[in-house]
Amino acid sequence: MPAEAFPQFHAPAGTIIGWSDGAVLRASGIRYARAARFQFPVAEPAAAAPIYATTPAPACPQAADPQLAQAFGDFHTGATFDEDCLRLSITLPADRQPGEALPVIVWVHGGSYVSGAGDLPLYDPATLVQEQRVVFVAVTYRLGLLGFMGGEGGPPPNLGLLDLLEALRWVQRNIRAFAGNPDLVTLLGHSSGADALAHLMVAEGAAGLFRRVILHSAPLGLARNRHAMTRAMVAAAGAFPAAATINEVLVRESAVYKAVRRFGLKSGMPFGTQYGAYPLPAEAELDRAWAAVASRVDVLIGATAEETRFFAVIDPTFRWVGRVPVVGELLLRLLVRITSGLIYLKPALAFARRHARAGGRAYHFLMQFQPVGRTLGAAHTLDLPLLLGTQAGWQATPLLSEVKWAAIHEAGRPVRQLWMDFARTGELPAPIVLPGVLRLKQL
């Protein structure tokens, strides 16, 4: 194998050996921190020996979700699972030049804080990196009971959020070695990943780690007034013996979900960030905290037009509504409109307006893209293939198996351009209308 197939990156973390993949170079599965179960992450020290970064990051252990499989199939095909999952993977243009300092995109995946991983094939950034000449960092972090539940009588809260902070500190220390500019870091998140990034904006210790955020489909309507539900979760999970296996930990998630059913819409995403617990401010201080950082962080935030129609595919309750004789489709549209507005659409617009009033630069988008060949409308997740992934990855999913990839690729091209222009400058020529794809305005 020729030496250029395994490029070396000389970083403060050590000499990192990556791999060549056509028009991009990759360094995969780099450890940024370590953490014992239910303990705070500790930054990984510099390595004396070479760091071989040629294997995808392991996913955080997670319970199988048959509902998600209806949309994505086995999206973990080929993945490994390990509690030792605090890793990141970097993709950069193969034709980078000496001294080049490219914009850096740090990707934080979604999955209701309980599923997913940074290196899933659905999130392959090769097209974005090659086309837009950016450096892309995908972060894997702790989920579910391991990362986003805790409190009195339980483990510390917000451990997954602290993992993300450690990953961003690693990026600041090391990204120059990968042709990245640490002063041009933009965080890109989807769903619960976007929710986490919105809260990183006000997290203690986050100042200076990033300049911009792009928030897709953040379920901010579920974020507040969760204290009673969190207490019920901690009680349902109970104490974990020190010798508990990871399967014994994961099985407790089903007890947690049963315990929160009475909490309405919030029970759809019971795991998440907790206010008043390090590194987040108290809930009463949250709006003031977001206003205080507005001048230092540019925001691009929005959602798809029919977010919760996605759950009409995977959720039995939604499917039952749609099958009601005569009025089923009408009821489904009404339910989608109400729930999409409460959970995603109205909170995103309110977030952008507050940010702008506080003196920050804020753009709000509405994704209207509807793939031809499916009847999902502009549903949750259908904006992702406009930015990330490959034809092989997405068309292997039931969600997009009938859709022509060329149409997705072409619809995504101007979106990729706009989003990376924002990453480069923080500015966009709003208002913008891409018919059938996107509406964007500055607040």
Residue 50 has pLDDT above 80, yes or no: yes
pLDDT one-digit tens code per residue, 116-162: 999 999 999 999 999 999 999 999 999 999 999 888 777 899 999 99
Residues 163-179, mean pLDDT to the nearest whole number: 98
282 DSSP 8-state letter: P
Q: pLDDT at position 290, please?
A: 98
What is the pLDDT confidence band of residue 322, given thresholds at 50, 70 and 90?
low
Q: pLDDT at position 67, please?
A: 81
Q: What is the biggest distance separating any 2 CA atoms in the chain, rounded to whole angstroms?
A: 69
Task: Tell me how far apart the alpha carbons of residues 103 and 175 are, in angstroms, rounded to a whole number.
Answer: 10
Residues 265-270, mean pLDDT to the nearest whole number: 91
Q: Of the segments 217-221, 253-257, 400-404, which one has the largest average pLDDT value?
A: 217-221
* Residues near 337 by beta carbon (within 8 Å), at least 6 away in sequence: 306
Asked whether the whole model's pTM tops 0.85, one would answer: yes
Task: Give the helix/strand (H/E) hosting 126.
Answer: helix 126-132
Percent of the chain exceeding pLDDT 90 equals: 79
Domains in the chain: ranges and CATH: 3-442 (3.40.50.1820)
Pick 359 or 328 by higher pLDDT: 359
Amino acid at 252: R
Task: Tell me how far apart the alpha carbons of residues 382 and 194 are, in angstroms, rounded to a whole number.
Answer: 15
DSSP β-bridge partners for residue 439 = 366, 433
Q: Report CA 312 to chain centroid distance, whole Å.
A: 22
Q: pLDDT at position 123, please?
A: 95
Task: Tell me how far apart the alpha carbons of residues 94 and 66 are, in angstroms, rounded to a whole number.
Answer: 38
Check if the beta carbon of residue 133 is closer than 8 Å to that of residue 102: yes
Mean pLDDT of the residues in the chain:
93
Residue 398 has pLDDT above 80, yes or no: yes
Residues 14-38, mean pLDDT to the nearest whole number: 97
Q: pLDDT at position 375, please?
A: 65
Residue 1 has pLDDT above 50, yes or no: no
Closest by CA to 13, choosing from 182, 209, 176, 173, is 173
